[in-house]
């Protein structure tokens, strides 16, 4: 079990010339909302937020980590986990693992979640960030296992947990194993709560399905980026089922704030400071007194309790 | 008789309107059942019912998805698709079960959680998620039985339990075969092929270690409802006794830890080229790292 906490300093998204940057230096980037053109260097400086309309473009996991954590503090863990194929899933002549491998070549990640430790405005955290470019950041076994390990790492190191989620939901290719990751990840959060450690959940565009219906909305504070589309059922599904045109602004971060579903809508540039402040406020909570009962109730290493 | 059926046949049986639904099980298995209504926040959901009653000598809290037997009933029941109010009613009753130290029995039978405008406005995702964490940590025993359709997160939201039982012709899936076919081939008519790929039958899930027992249907449930319900009742009682025995000998803390370990262990991945099974047997782990499996209890009855 200790192996889980071994440092694996492989990933450094802030390194110069990093291959994981998906945008070359000499490119003009068009805002998908207002068509404003930005020079890529300027876009990077603006954190990929359109200076004209304020549209927050989607970020890769590496870009997200770059824009959120203190420079040079991110250490990745569990990067080596990759997909098993319990269903031997093949569709349209393409095997699941081949599909995942090809997604990985594009994103330079082995699955849809990148986990590690970092600090945000000086506050140490256990961090889990989705990579939407990897099969729509769908949640399967690797995603679930890495997230639970990130939660365990938070408990072990007395760190706050920050999750950044943008996902299409559970991953079809692992069927029930994927659905069960909703239960697995959410159940692990009960242990984090018992340890009186905060979970801050940042929802980014787009976030749906099994992720919205599990760990990402069981948090002490839920933050979303402006304009992010967030919901349980996707807009197309709702339109098909209800045969109604969806109202303007439906399922936006602002809509969720208005309906009491999230705490804050925070522009990207202010995220480190706001999350850092929240972490500081929650960090004053002392570790609960250890009693034998508490240890048994939710052992951090459940397998031990069940050893045959 | 139903052993030779393929996945799509079983989907049809699971969805058969004449198949016994949650209330049929409750009426036959739970004496003096009193249905309790409302989430105390917004409304009463007719697609997710709950209440309290006597199951073979002990008081239990019962939750179930309720489909209709005909169109009129189905409109009232929203085709068995709960809105957030349903999940929040379930949460209220789970808290009540904990308060009075009562076991929770759930009957799973839903195509999905309701995907409507109102459900989104009232936080469908959060309503499901709060149930997952509450049921994972609840300090009373729970037995979930998939009696028909286990439709994704809408089913999962009341099926976190110490044991998951499945009727032989029940299904449990991450997405409906139609939705899967639409994603894969942009054609919902390919649902039969999707049903095979998704591995959604009771036997599949038992093989994966996710379902603890398959309750046989020698004759499809809608042709022999009473016999099927009694058989399910016997299996539920047997598992409940077993879980109660765990509490009696090892304490409730052990049960809660065991339940967590079950879910903590679900998933399969490859680490450094080796397949690590976390829900069955131990495999050789790389670099001397020992990946201890979780558990598999009474799965092969």
pLDDT digits (tens, 9 = 90+) for B17-46: 999 999 999 999 999 999 999 999 999 999
A84 close contact with B: CB closer than 8 A: yes
Query: Is B84:A260 a contact under the CB 8 Å cutoff?
Result: no
- Selecting from B121, B152, B268 the residue whose C-beta is nearest the C-beta of A179 gives B152
Average pLDDT of span B108-121: 96
List CB contacts (< 8 A) between B294 and chain A.
302-303, 306
- pLDDT, position B283: 37
Give yes or no for residue B284 having a pLDDT over 90. Answer: no
- pLDDT, position A272: 98
Which residues does chain A have with pLDDT short of 50? 1-20, 293-308
Token readout for B51 is 């209440």
A152 close contact with B: CB closer than 8 A: no
- pLDDT, position B222: 96
- pLDDT, position B280: 35
First to last CA, chain B: 20
Please answer yes or no on whether A231 and B125 come within 8 Å at the CB atom: yes
- pLDDT, position B134: 98
Q: Note the CATH architecture for domain A59-283.
A: Alpha-Beta Complex (3.90)
State the nearest Cα–Cα gap between A281 and chain B, in angstroms: 24
Please answer yes or no on whether A80 and B117 come within 8 Å at the CB atom: no
CA distance B126 to B123: 5
Please answer yes or no on whether B130 and A218 come within 8 Å at the CB atom: yes
- pLDDT, position B122: 97
- pLDDT, position B301: 27
CA distance A188 to A185: 5
Average pLDDT of span B94-113: 98
- Selecting from A179, A187, A242 the residue whose C-beta is nearest the C-beta of B174 gives A179
Please answer yes or no on whether A87 and B174 come within 8 Å at the CB atom: no
- Could you give phi then psi for residue B164, rounded to 5 degrees? -115, 115
CA distance B236 to B251: 20
Question: For strand B142-151 and strand B30-36, is the pairing parallel, antiparallel, or unpaired?
Answer: unpaired
Please answer yes or no on whether B210 and A83 come within 8 Å at the CB atom: no
Average pLDDT of span B76-94: 98
List CB contacts (< 8 A) between A87 and chain B.
197-199
Span(s) in chain A for CATH 3.90.226.10: 59-283
Mean pLDDT (chain B) is: 90
CA distance B171 to B183: 20
Please answer yes or no on whether A244 and B117 come within 8 Å at the CB atom: yes
List CB contacts (< 8 A) between B123 and chain A.
217, 259-261
Which sign, positive or negative, has the C-alpha torsion A92, A94, A96, A99? negative
- pLDDT, position A288: 66
Average pLDDT of span B2-14: 91
Please answer yes or no on whether A175 and B198 come within 8 Å at the CB atom: yes
CA distance B26 to B28: 5
HSE-up (13 A, CA, CB side) for residue A234 = 11
Task: Give CA torsion, residues B178, B181, B182, B188, to 10 deg.
Answer: -50
- pLDDT, position A299: 44
Please answer yes or no on whether A172 and B174 come within 8 Å at the CB atom: yes
* Predicted complex ipTM: 0.91
- Considering only residues 192 to 231 of chain A, which have any Cβ-Cβ distance to chain B shorter than 8 Å? 209-210, 212-218, 231
- pLDDT, position B271: 83
Which pTM was predicted?
0.89
State the nearest Cα–Cα gap between A218 and chain B, in angstroms: 6
Question: For strand A221-224 and strand B163-167, is the pairing parallel, antiparallel, or unpaired?
Answer: unpaired
In this prediction, residue B184 has a pLDDT band, given cuts at 50, 70 and 90, of: confident
- Considering only residues 231 to 270 of chain A, which have any Cβ-Cβ distance to chain B shorter than 8 Å? 231-233, 237-238, 241-242, 244, 246-247, 250-251, 259-261
List CB contacts (< 8 A) between B268 and chain A.
84, 86, 141, 174, 177
List the Cα angle A199/A277/A267 in 5-degree steps.
85
């Amino acid at each position: 079990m200790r192996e889980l906490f071994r440092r694996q300093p492989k990933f450094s998204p802030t390194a110069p010339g990093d291959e994981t940057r998906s945008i070359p230096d000499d490119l003009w980037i068009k805002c998908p909302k207002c068509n404003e053109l930005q020079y890529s260097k300027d876009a990077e400086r603006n954190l990929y937020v359109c200076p004209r309309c304020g549209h927050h473009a989607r970020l890769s996991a590496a870009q997200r980590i770059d824009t959120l954590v203190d420079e040079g503090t991110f250490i990745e863990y569990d990067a080596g986990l990759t997909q098993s194929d319990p269903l031997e899933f093949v569709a349209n002549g393409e095997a699941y693992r081949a599909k995942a491998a090809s997604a990985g070549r594009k994103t330079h990640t082995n699955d849809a979640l990148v986990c590690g430790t970092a600090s945000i405005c000086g506050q140490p955290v256990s961090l889990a960030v989705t990579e939407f470019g990897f099969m729509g950041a769908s949640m399967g076994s690797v995603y679930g296992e890495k997230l639970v390990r990130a939660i365990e790492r938070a408990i072990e190191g007395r760190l706050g947990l920050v999750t950044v989620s943008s996902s299409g939901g559970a991953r079809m290719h692992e069927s029930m194993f994927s659905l069960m990751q909703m239960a697995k990840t959410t159940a692990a959060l009960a242990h984090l709560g018992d340890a009186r450690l905060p979970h801050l959940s940042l929802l980014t565009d787009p976030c749906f399905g099994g992720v919205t219906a599990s760990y990402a909305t069981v948090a002490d504070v839920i933050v979303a980026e402006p304009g992010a589309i967030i919901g349980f059922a996707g807009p197309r599904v709702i339109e098909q089922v209800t045969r109604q045109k969806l109202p303007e602004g439906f399922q936006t971060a602002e809509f969720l704030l208005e309906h009491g579903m999230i705490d804050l809508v925070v522009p990207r540039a202010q995220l480190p400071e706001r999350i850092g402040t929240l972490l500081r406020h929650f960090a004053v909570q002392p570790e609960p007194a250890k009693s034998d009962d508490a240890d048994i109730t939710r052992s951090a290493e459940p397998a031990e309790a069940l050893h045959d | 008789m139903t052993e030779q059926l393929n996945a799509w046949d079983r989907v049809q049986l699971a969805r058969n309107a004449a198949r016994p639904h949650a209330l049929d099980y409750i009426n036959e298995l739970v004496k003096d059942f009193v249905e309790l209504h409302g989430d105390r926040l917004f409304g009463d959901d007719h697609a997710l019912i709950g209440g309290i009653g006597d199951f073979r000598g002990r008081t239990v809290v019962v939750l179930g998805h309720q489909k209709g037997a005909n169109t009129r009933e189905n409109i009232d029941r929203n085709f068995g698709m709960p809105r957030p109010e349903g999940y929040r009613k379930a949460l209220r009753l789970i808290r009540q079960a904990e308060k009075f130290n009562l076991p929770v029995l759930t009957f799973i039978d839903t195509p999905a959680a309701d995907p409507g405008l109102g459900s989104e406005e009232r936080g469908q995702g959060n309503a499901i998620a709060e149930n997952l964490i509450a049921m994972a940590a609840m300090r009373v025993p729970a037995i979930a039985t998939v009696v028909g359709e286990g439709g994704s997160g809408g089913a999962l939201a009341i099926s976190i339990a110490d044991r998951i039982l499945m009727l032989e012709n029940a299904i449990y899936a991450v997405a409906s075969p139609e939705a899967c076919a639409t994603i894969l081939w942009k054609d919902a008519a390919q649902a039969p092929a999707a049903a095979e790929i998704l591995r959604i039958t009771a036997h599949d899930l038992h093989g994966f270690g996710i379902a603890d027992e398959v309750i046989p249907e020698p004759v499809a449930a809608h042709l022999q409802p009473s016999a099927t319900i009694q058989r399910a009742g016997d299996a539920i009682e047997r598992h409940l006794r077993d879980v109660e025995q765990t509490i009696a000998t090892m304490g409730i803390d052990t049960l809660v830890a065991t339940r967590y370990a079950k879910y903590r262990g679900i998933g399969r991945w490859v680490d450094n080229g080796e397949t690590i099974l976390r829900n069955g047997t131990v495999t050789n782990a790389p670099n001397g790292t020992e990946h201890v499996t979780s558990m598999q209890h009474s799965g092969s009855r």
